[in-house]
């Protein structure tokens, strides 16, 4: 019998209510200056931890993680540029994007000409501040709207970036909801972007809401939600959890879940795993609009989970993809980009995907030669000749396909019936003693 | 050398003549009240047996057949409803559908209100009598046009159903035409429907005509035609023949073959077996219009043959599918639904399918390195430079593909040439000593 | 590091220049009367040998080659038809097509009626002379425009064909360019057609230009270009090289490369081999228009390479296919059919296909767990946040897919990036120590 998962994230109304709460949470997180390390991440995880139990991990700078090492920790207190008259041309206090992430400290007076190589702006979007990082090359930079940059007159400018780049640690947080099985479903979202709204405060808020929702129900599988910096965070997590990956049944990288684009599922490298099948099934049956895209090694942390040495059953769910909307990685990725109904739909579809994974058992029909007599078990209408109902069709589909080779999701796919109806039919047949669970549900499975 | 199969069901004219005879036979069978057991089935099989040798099997009530048991035998002599004035409101003598199949005997006077739960009608088709059954719940019922039902005035009614439901037997008939090989092709048609014309007097008549046609020719394979009640009949047949299923090469469930819909082939559960390939090939090349539909566990006796414990290479051929025409399972499924030309086309396509199965050998090219020289064997035109004819193309295709992995049907499919031309080319190459038959044609084969 | 192959056949301008030279060469070859044996083939190969080193093979008449034997050698010195007044109605000196190939010698006077069975013409194209052969049935014939044939008045005619059909040999030529590996790529073109321009002087000229181009560069694989008569030539070559076929990695039959039709690649019998993938990839990315057609056992020498006993990874590249343009196998297949730009495109695409085959290595990522850090190896831009360039995408694709199962061509296909960019990325990663070549590149491989 499938336990009820995410009971509070079922109806559109419930999800819209959660989306409003998520938006409120995002307003709280927006001003924080996050990077791949540092206090911004810690404050963000603390805020998440106010809603769900979160285990915080600190990994020291210099720790070897596969081909990489954990970088020095970066923190910034203030950053500004002032003209010869001492007027602040830009100030980090106004927008966290003004300082290039991982900028070295600087306090100097220089000519506009000397300053220019350190300025970043977007001529094609003169009012937007770009988002720039320099994690692995020691440098400093200021990001500025092109309009402001153009207004700068020749002369002397004072630049001050009060930052530190020093041994410290990389911080990530983990939420775990234990189910009946040791097998885990992974949700991963990146927490390293500063004041950018769709990318990726929506991902953080949706992951937190799903974690909170999981606590309210019963689960067959276990669910791990990881909040970590992008790239180096997933690499670090994989390095520290390599021995446990056998228990990872499938996973989903979450991000960019609030914009008005259609929900977009990006397939795992294998392309035909359980999460690929289920995401496609749920999106087809429940999303207002959606697109499925093939794996490519460019994007977010699916790159690491799907590197050839792991090749995990991990896909990615976003609305617009990275690089696929004009405001991406600029100050214009603010609350105007995010729509509450879209955020609610993202939550609802995520919940449905998790619910489907949790219920995706594989059975064997214990009466496989001819159909068993459903009528004598109270599962079939007594008077023949008229059309059977959808539930009776679902019973027949589950019986016919349950030879140990087809999961319930595969049966839903082949039959075209809703997964919930198929799962309900399987429960009824299980109770009637006509099905047995296969052991394959307890091993890492390739649902192909 | 392929023997000639079904020589009298080749041309459109011959098939039309057989269709006329089939229609006449259906008129003879129409008045009989058939059910899943009883004298109606026996009389039907006796009528079939007047045309072809039929082995009759009687299986006692109570016999365990997998999850089912053979039910009690049901017979009905008279059934009527009379109003307070003694006027017969309906009478089984006018239409066999008036009595719900497997109705218990009843002889009682009751009010209209008490009567209503036992009446079945179709508000959306007020002039049609529905077809209802209650095989496995003891009950009684009368089926009536909605117009008549609406005309009933409150008052007392006398109901009389003179039926018996008692230990007896389930009856089915088998025709067998032995060919050179023990491997069998199965045709199955249900014989349990009372006065319904398309479903399934057409199936009975077509199956009988094919059996008669088979007697006129030589066959490589053996052909078994089973006339049995639906569901419990195929379950019973499977239970009694389980040990012999290894010899079943493929099969076809036949029914609903006279209406004006396009010929519809429903694939086996496996979906890629020899019968699936051949039905598709023949329909594409010979039917006026056709559709191919995937397997689903709802329909006729293919449900049992394709249950996961058997998973046989059995498909289904109908014109309209079950439930797919308005007159289905009502008194309107009468001779007006059946068209002689459609019935003739069904016969012609069935014959072509059997002929293709019978000729579907798999060969190995005995001169597989480069093309053999056909000219010196008189198989190729002498003067080069001009276009080769279709037969020469067929020779090249058979030689090129015959590596033991492709049957002649597969070669016809890949080449786009008619199966008959491919088979003719194979015969010529066999005679020239360029091909050898593989042993795989004598084992149960998955033609995938 | 991929060596540079065919460096002089890269740009459109270079290929156009080579096409002009090829056309000039075709003018030299056009008057020669070629057949499947004889001095016409020898003169043709001698002309090819003036441009590239060619090893000439003579195989004696009567040599058994699989199911065939090498035929007698045929040569013709003169052939004409004269009317009663001694006027030459047709003369071989005017067109080599006038005499049916392999005509027996004849010197006789006969009536028009007696002559007619020996005349070949095309009523539907009254000005064209057809191409006819009688290699394996001893006969004689004259080919003539239908207009001339119609003008013949009853009366006596003198026919003279001064030919010899006698023991001799079949002649073919081979060019070999040795690369680093013993594995060979085969190019095959037929040299047996008399004065026909597209079929197949273009094939001969393109194959010769490719051979000349190969000499100018470095190759990883070895390249063998075979110039031989059609059918009996490839059969003879296969019979004499059977033991060496294990080294044949893939191949391409070339012909009909100058007409204005789109480039047409015909897949190998297997349909999914390395050459099939690469030809499709190159045509998609580089041809102005193209079509891909499935294998069929009718056409040119691919029939022998793809016979079931060999089933080699050999496809065919033409522009129009055999039989697919009206002038095919007639005197109208002259220089008017051939377009220099089309010939140049054929050369350019052939060169790109060979270059792709030569560079089609398969690697394993030596840092397969998560992405390796490209930045510290100078392979990645330092400042994050903006769009990566195509080359960086190519690096990520090669790393992600290189698990030993995907060749660079497969990666180009999946990524949609140009093969050259993928190969360049692989070279950079190889130099950075991030890739290792797999051994599979040194064995005969099925790139599926």
**Hey, are the CB atoms on C137 and B383 less than 8 Å from each other?**
yes
Nearest CB partner across the interface for B403, out of C131, C242, C308: C308
Mean pLDDT value across chain B = 94
pLDDT at B17 over 50: yes
pLDDT digit string, tens, across residues A228-272:
999 999 999 999 999 999 999 999 999 999 999 999 999 999 999
**Percent of chain A whose predicted confidence (pLDDT) is above 70:** 96
The pLDDT score that the predictor gives to residue C320 is 96
pLDDT digit string, tens, across residues B24-80:
999 999 999 999 999 999 999 999 999 999 999 999 999 999 999 999 999 999 999
pLDDT at B447 over 60: no
Which pLDDT band, with edges at 50, 70 and 90, does B4 fall under?
Answer: confident
The closest alpha carbon to B362, from B411, B412, B408, B394, belongs to B408
**Hey, are the CB atoms on B370 and C134 less than 8 Å from each other?**
no
Which pLDDT band, with edges at 50, 70 and 90, does C380 fall under?
Answer: confident
pLDDT at C443 over 50: no
The pLDDT score that the predictor gives to residue B444 is 38
Distance CA B16, CA B9 (A): 9
C-alpha R_g of chain A = 25
The pLDDT score that the predictor gives to residue A445 is 40
List of residues 6+ apart from B427 with CB closer than 8 A: B1, B2
The pLDDT score that the predictor gives to residue B2 is 54
Which pLDDT band, with edges at 50, 70 and 90, does B271 fall under?
Answer: very high
The pLDDT score that the predictor gives to residue A386 is 58
The pLDDT score that the predictor gives to residue B442 is 38
CA distance C292 to chain A (A): 24
Which pLDDT band, with edges at 50, 70 and 90, does B382 fall under?
Answer: low
Mean pLDDT value across chain A = 94
Q: Does A17 touch chain B (CB under 8 A)?
A: no
Q: Which chain A residues are closer than 8 Å to C410 by Cβ?
A: none
Q: Does A68 touch chain C (CB under 8 A)?
A: yes
List of residues 6+ apart from A372 with CB closer than 8 A: A365, A399, A434, B66, B67
**Percent of chain C whose predicted confidence (pLDDT) is above 70:** 96
Nearest CB partner across the interface for C375, out of A136, A298, A304: A136
Nearest CB partner across the interface for A67, out of C370, C387, C397: C370
The pLDDT score that the predictor gives to residue C381 is 72
Q: Does C378 touch chain A (CB under 8 A)?
A: no
Interface probe with A: pick from C366, C370, C383, most Cβ of A within 10 Å = C370
Which pLDDT band, with edges at 50, 70 and 90, does B323 fall under?
Answer: confident
pLDDT at B295 over 60: yes
pLDDT at C326 over 50: yes
Mean pLDDT value across chain C = 95
pLDDT digit string, tens, across residues B405-426:
999 999 999 999 999 999 999 9
Q: Provide the β-strand partners of residue A60.
A: A169
pLDDT at A224 over 70: yes
pLDDT digit string, tens, across residues C113-158:
999 999 999 999 999 999 999 999 999 999 999 999 999 999 999 9
Note the Cα A5 to chain centre separation in Å: 19
Distance CA C216, CA C445 (A): 27
pLDDT digit string, tens, across residues B183-196:
999 999 999 999 99
The pLDDT score that the predictor gives to residue C442 is 38
Backbone φ, ψ for residue A192 (5° rounding): -100, -5
Q: Does B393 touch chain C (CB under 8 A)?
A: yes
Which pLDDT band, with edges at 50, 70 and 90, does C385 fall under?
Answer: low
pLDDT digit string, tens, across residues A411-441:
999 999 999 999 999 999 999 999 999 865 4
pLDDT digit string, tens, across residues A375-418:
889 887 766 655 568 999 999 999 999 999 999 999 999 999 99
| Cα atoms in the Cβ-side hemisphere of radius 13 Å centred on B25 | 28
**Percent of chain B whose predicted confidence (pLDDT) is above 90:** 92
pLDDT digit string, tens, across residues A123-175:
999 999 999 999 999 999 999 999 999 999 999 999 999 999 999 999 999 99
Distance CA B267, CA A137 (A): 62
The closest alpha carbon to B151, from B87, B78, B80, B79, belongs to B87
CA distance A51 to chain C (A): 31
pLDDT digit string, tens, across residues C44-101:
999 999 999 999 999 999 999 999 999 999 999 999 999 999 999 999 999 999 999 9
Distance CA C44, CA C30 (A): 9
The pLDDT score that the predictor gives to residue A380 is 79
pLDDT digit string, tens, across residues C270-301:
999 999 999 999 999 999 999 999 999 999 99
pLDDT at A442 over 60: no
The closest alpha carbon to B217, from B177, B159, B165, B272, belongs to B177
Judged by average pLDDT, the poorest of A326-335, B97-106, B383-392, C293-302 is B383-392
pLDDT at C441 over 90: no
Distance CA A366, CA A60 (A): 54
Residue bearing the bigger pLDDT, C446 or A358: A358
The pLDDT score that the predictor gives to residue C382 is 61
Nearest CB partner across the interface for B370, out of C67, C135, C329: C67
Angle A278-A281-A287 from CA coordinates, rounded to 5°: 115
List of residues 6+ apart from A243 with CB closer than 8 A: none
Q: What DSSP letter does each residue of B198-262 carry, written as one string?
A: IIIIIHHHHHHHHHHHHHTS--SSEEEEEEE-TTHHHHHHHHHHGGGGGGEEEEEEE---SSSSP
Angle of the B12-29 helix axis to the B39-49 helix axis, nearest 10 = 150
Q: Does A365 touch chain B (CB under 8 A)?
A: yes
The pLDDT score that the predictor gives to residue B440 is 53
The whole model's pTM is what? 0.91
pLDDT at A2 over 60: no
Residue A110 CB burial class (10 angstroms; 0-12, 13-18, ≥19): middle
The pLDDT score that the predictor gives to residue C384 is 65
């Amino acid at each position: 019998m499938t336990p009820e998962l995410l009971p509070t994230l079922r109806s559109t109304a419930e999800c819209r209510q959660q989306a409003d709460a998520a938006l409120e949470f995002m307003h709280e997180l927006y001003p924080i200056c996050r990077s791949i390390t540092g206090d911004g991440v810690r404050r963000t995880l603390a805020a998440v931890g106010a809603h769900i139990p979160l285990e915080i991990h600190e990994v020291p700078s210099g720790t070897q993680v596969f081909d990489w090492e954990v970088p020095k920790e970066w923190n910034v207190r203030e950053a500004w540029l002032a003209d010869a008259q001492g007027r602040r041309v830009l100030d980090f206090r106004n927008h966290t994007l003004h300082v290039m992430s991982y900028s070295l400290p600087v306090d100097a007076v220089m000519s506009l000409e000397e300053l220019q190589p350190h300025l970043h702006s977007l001529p094609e979007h003169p009012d937007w501040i770009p988002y720039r990082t320099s994690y692995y090359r020691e440098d400093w930079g200021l990001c500025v709207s092109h309009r402001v940059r153009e207004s700068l007159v020749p002369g002397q400018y004072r630049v001050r970036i009060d930052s530190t780049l020093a041994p410290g640690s990389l911080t990530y947080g983990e939420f775990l909801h234990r189910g009946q099985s040791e097998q885990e479903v992974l949700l991963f979202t990146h927490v390293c972007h500063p004041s950018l709204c769709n990318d990726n405060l929506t991902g953080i808020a949706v992951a937190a809401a799903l974690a909170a929702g999981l606590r309210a129900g019963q689960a067959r599988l276990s669910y791990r939600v990881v909040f970590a910096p992008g790239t180096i965070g997933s690499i670090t997590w994989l390095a520290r959890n390599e021995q446990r990956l056998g228990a990872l049944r499938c996973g989903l990288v979450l991000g960019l879940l609030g914009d008005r684009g259609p929900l977009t599922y990006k397939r795992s490298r294998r392309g035909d795993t359980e999460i690929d099948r289920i995401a496609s099934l749920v999106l087809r049956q429940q999303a207002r609009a959606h697109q499925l895209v093939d794996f490519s090694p460019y994007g977010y942390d699916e790159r690491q989970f799907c590197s050839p040495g792991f090749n995990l059953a991990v896909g990615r769910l976003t609305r617009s993809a990275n690089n696929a909307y004009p405001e991406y990685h600029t100050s214009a990725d603010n609350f105007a980009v995010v729509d509450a109904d879209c955020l609610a739909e993202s939550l609802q579809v995520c919940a449905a995907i998790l619910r489907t994974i949790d219920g995706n058992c594989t059975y064997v029909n214990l009466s496989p030669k001819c159909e068993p007599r459903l009528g004598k078990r109270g599962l079939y209408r007594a008077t023949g000749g008229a059309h059977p109902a959808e539930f009776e069709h679902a019973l027949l589909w589950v019986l016919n396909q349950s030879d140990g080779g087809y999961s319930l999701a595969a049966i839903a796919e082949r039959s075209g019936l809703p997964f919930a109806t198929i799962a309900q039919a399987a429960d009824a047949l299980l109770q009637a003693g006509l099905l047995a669970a296969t052991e394959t549900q307890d091993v890492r499975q390739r649902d192909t």
